[in-house]
Structure formats: C-alpha cells, structure tokens
Chain A
Amino acid sequence: MKQFNKNNECQNCECEECLQMLELFLDNEATEQQKNQVKLHIETCEHCKYCYEVDSQLKNRLKEQISNKKCPSEIIKCIQSKIKEMVLS
C-alpha cells in the first residue's frame, strides 16, 4: 500500500530511492545496478513512471527547442583571418 503526503508525493522508501536515481538514469550516469533498479521499479509504480515521463519529456523538449543557433558565416571568416594574422606576426 503506497502512502502519499499532502503534496501527493509518494512516501514509499523504494520510490524515494527510485526518484533519487531518476536523474542519474536519464542523464546516463547510473550504474548498471541503478539502471536495473529504476527500470524494475517504474514497471510497477505508476507514480515513479509518471515522474520519469515528465523528466524525460522535459529533456526532449529542451533539446528540440534550444539547440538551433548557427554561427554567422562572417564570424567564421573573421576568426580565420585573425588567426592568419597571428601566424604571420
């Protein structure tokens, strides 16, 4: 039987451990043992599975929306010409 506090957080020890490892898991920093522990736990726990989905979705949205800036070509030329000057001097 899972217990929830007033903030709707799960009070189960296993959940607490899982949530602590969730970021390591998503950031690919978890050990094999931690990975298995998280995978096994979220198969059976709706609450932790949901937290996993939110965090994983956030990571995807960040990647989609943020990594789109291209360096203007004049900057590349400027860098290359300044380096040439440095080599010659």
Chain B
Amino acid sequence: MENLEEETLIEETDAMSEKKKEALFSQLFLPLLDTAYNFAFRLTLNESDAQDLVQDTFLKAYRFSNSFQIGTNAKAWLFRILKNSFINEYRRKLKNPATVDYQEVEQFYNSEEADTKMTTDLRVEVLQDMIGDEVAHALNSLDIDFRTVIILCDIEGFTYEEMSKILDIPIGTVRSRLHRARNILKEKLKNYAKKYYG
C-alpha cells in the first residue's frame, strides 16, 4: 500500500514538473524572445542565422529548464545558453569568420602601451550629429568578443557580475574588455566622422 502511494506521488510529481516546465517557459522565457533575437542578430549579423540560433536556444532552454533555479535571472540564464550555442555551432559556420586572432588582439589592448595610444578625442558633437546607423556599423565591425560585451552591457543592461556568468570570464576581464571595446569603438567613430564629416 505504501509503495503504491509512493508511486502515485512520483507520477504526480512528474506530471506537475512537465506542467511547471511549460508554465515556466511561457512565463519567463517566451517574453524574452525579441531581446534574445536581437542579441542573436548582433552576434551573427545575419537574419537567417539569427533565426536558427534563437530557435536552438529556446528549445535548449525548454529541455534544460529543470536546471533553471527559480528566482535567479532568467534573461542571464537564457543569454548564456544563446552565447554558448553561438560559439559551439554557429561561429565556425559564419561566412566571414574573424580573421583576427582575438587572444592576440586582447593581449595588445590589455597592455599598458595600448592605453596611451588608444586615448580617443572623439567629440560629443560628432556623436550628436550622427543621424544614420553609423554607431551600429561601427559596433558590427568590432571583433566578436568586443562586440558581445558592449551589447550585453550597453544594450541589454546586464551587470558586470551577470556578464561574467554569461561569458564565463572573471569580472576584471569583463571590465577591461569593455574598456578596450569602447576605446576601439570611439576610435572607429572618430575616423568615420573625419572621413564623412570632415
């Protein structure tokens, strides 16, 4: 009798967890579809790859939603899956993979020598006058790891701690990578302004 009760209990828990999984998914993750798609597009720079990536991410999120701890940040959890899927499956498929050795780039920009060279004198009026999508273009031309930190911080508003979890890097690296990324971005915008606005 006791065994029977236990079995029924287990079955009920399983049924509940499947229902719970679906509820969790539609309440927490589905509302994040647009923001996840935006992130996927900014990573892949291609509509069709972004659609595949976002589908892949949401199916994984559903499959693994048991491992999501309720009360923690759903968006950060989802973005971590998206970023890992991108690295594992899409990065190597991209038509124009980055030819720059990122490690080398980061080492250079992390060196003290770079800091004095990279000080930018981008003017605030230049930014105000840019009416087209210059900023988006400049961002898209950044190396993928530099682009990612700017998207996560400036567009999605993640904290350094959340970014550190999404990207699996220490907070110090988040900070330095963000700093270099912004300096390169400002340099690009300054050159762009020189070229087109004189």
Query: Shortest distance in angstroms between B191's beta carbon and chain A's nearest beta carbon?
Result: 15
- Pair B160/A79 contact, Cβ less than 8 Å: no
Given contacts A54-B186, A70-B34, contact A7 B116 (CB under 8 A): yes
Query: Shortest distance in angstroms between B6's beta carbon and chain A's nearest beta carbon?
Result: 25
Whether, in the assembled complex, A86 has its beta carbon less than 8 Å from a beta carbon of chain B, the answer is: yes
Query: Shortest distance in angstroms between A82's beta carbon and chain B's nearest beta carbon?
Result: 6
Query: Shortest distance in angstroms between B145's beta carbon and chain A's nearest beta carbon?
Result: 17
In the complex, the chain B residue whose C-beta lies closest to that of A76 is B33
Whether, in the assembled complex, A17 has its beta carbon less than 8 Å from a beta carbon of chain B, the answer is: no
Given contacts A66-B136, A69-B37, A86-B63, contact A59 B128 (CB under 8 A): no
- Pair B178/A8 contact, Cβ less than 8 Å: no
Whether, in the assembled complex, B36 has its beta carbon less than 8 Å from a beta carbon of chain A, the answer is: yes
Given contacts A69-B34, A78-B55, contact A54 B124 (CB under 8 A): yes
Q: Give Cα A67 to B157, complex, Å.
A: 11
Which chain A residues numbered 44 to 89 have a C-beta less than 8 Å away from chain B? 50, 53-55, 57-59, 61-63, 65-72, 75-76, 78-79, 82-83, 86-87
Which single member of B116, B155, B178 contacts A67 (CB below 8 Å)?
B155
Which chain B residues numbered 72 to 114 have a C-beta less than 8 Å away from chain A? none
Q: Mark B105-131, 1 if CB is under 8 A from A, else 0.
A: 000000000001001011110011010
Which chain B residues numbered 117 to 165 have a C-beta less than 8 Å away from chain A? 119, 121-124, 127-128, 130, 133, 135-136, 139, 150-151, 153-156, 159-160
Which single member of A58, A59, A69, A82 contacts B41 (CB below 8 Å)?
A69
Query: Shortest distance in angstroms between B38's beta carbon and chain A's nearest beta carbon?
Result: 4
- Pair A72/B51 contact, Cβ less than 8 Å: yes
Query: Shortest distance in angstroms between B28's beta carbon and chain A's nearest beta carbon?
Result: 14
Given contacts A62-B155, A66-B139, contact A83 B25 (CB under 8 A): yes
Q: Give Cα A86 to B122, complex, Å.
A: 52
Set of chain A residues within 8 Å of B133, measured between Cβ atoms: 65
In the complex, the chain B residue whose C-beta lies closest to that of A5 is B116
- Pair B154/A57 contact, Cβ less than 8 Å: no
Which single member of A63, A72, A79, A87 contacts B59 (CB below 8 Å)?
A79
Which single member of A9, A54, A71 contacts B127 (CB below 8 Å)?
A54
6 A-B residue pairs with CB within 8 Å: A27-B160, A54-B186, A55-B182, A57-B124, A62-B154, A65-B133
Residues of A at the B interface (CB closer than 8 Å) are: 7-9, 23, 27-29, 50, 53-55, 57-59, 61-63, 65-72, 75-76, 78-79, 82-83, 86-87
